């Protein structure tokens, strides 16, 4: 029985070591992904602060030759299981991103068609009245009392925690009217 116990303990130690190694690799992978997302968020926030005319300009990267990779090197890793909450968040962000891309494309199209100089006169005619939703406002934003305007706060405000509230970015939902 002692020999069997020793064998089982050795197997348990090996399994524990393998699990610890896989966990470290997974944490490293998630950290890399988080770093990439942080970089993308920083780029988006930088673009958000650009004037409208600069934001709408398209800059194409220079052409470059990419060496051909073997099929083995190009295989994608098997995805890790994802929590339902993260899946919902990613789906929501994807849908929002598609809506924003569509709205920007429509805006660019109408702006280009504008016959008045640089199109800025047109911008004044497209403005619509918006009512902002205080339940979704980020703690980094301050809404006016009439919920029509928003400005950046000096720091994070102490607001009631709601499931609708944006916490990862300075965002707020609004509706026309």
pLDDT in tens, 8-38: 888 888 888 888 888 888 888 888 888 888 8
What whole-number distance in Å separates Cα of residue 114 and Cα of residue 121?
Answer: 9
User: For 76-90, what is each residue's pLDDT tens digit?
Assistant: 566 667 677 877 787
Q: Cβ neighbours of residue 109 under 8 Å, at least 6 residues apart? A: none
CA neighbor of 145 nearest in space, from 161, 131, 155: 131
CA neighbor of 132 nearest in space, from 176, 95, 90: 176
Q: Is 136 helix (H, G, I), strand (E, B) or coil?
A: coil
Are the C-beta atoms of residues 137 and 143 closer than 8 Å to each other? yes
- Give the pLDDT of residue 70: 47
Does 81 or 139 have the greater pLDDT score? Answer: 139
Domain-wise residue ranges, the chain: 1-82, 90-126, 128-176
For 138, counting Cβ atoms within 10 Å of its Cβ (0-12 exposed, 13-18 middle, 19+ buried), the class is buried
């Amino acid at each position: 029985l002692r020999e069997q116990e020793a064998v089982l303990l050795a197997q348990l130690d090996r399994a524990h070591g393998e699990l610890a190694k896989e966990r470290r690799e997974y944490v490293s992978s998630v950290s890399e992904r988080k770093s990439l997302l942080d970089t993308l968020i920083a780029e988006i926030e930088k673009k958000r602060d650009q004037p409208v005319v600069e934001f709408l300009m398209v800059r194409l990267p220079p052409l470059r030759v990419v060496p051909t990779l073997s099929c083995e090197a190009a295989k994608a890793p098997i995805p890790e299981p994802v929590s339902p909450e993260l899946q919902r968040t990613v789906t929501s962000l994807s849908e929002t991103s598609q809506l924003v891309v569509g709205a920007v494309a429509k805006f660019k199209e109408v702006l280009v068609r504008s016959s008045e100089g640089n199109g800025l006169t047109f911008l004044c005619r497209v403005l619509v009245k918006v009512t902002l939703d205080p339940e979704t406002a980020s703690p980094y934003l301050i809404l006016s009392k009439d919920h029509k305007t928003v400005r950046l706060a000096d720091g994070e405000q102490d607001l009631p925690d709601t499931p609708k509230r944006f916490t990862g970015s300075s965002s707020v939902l609004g509706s026309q009217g």
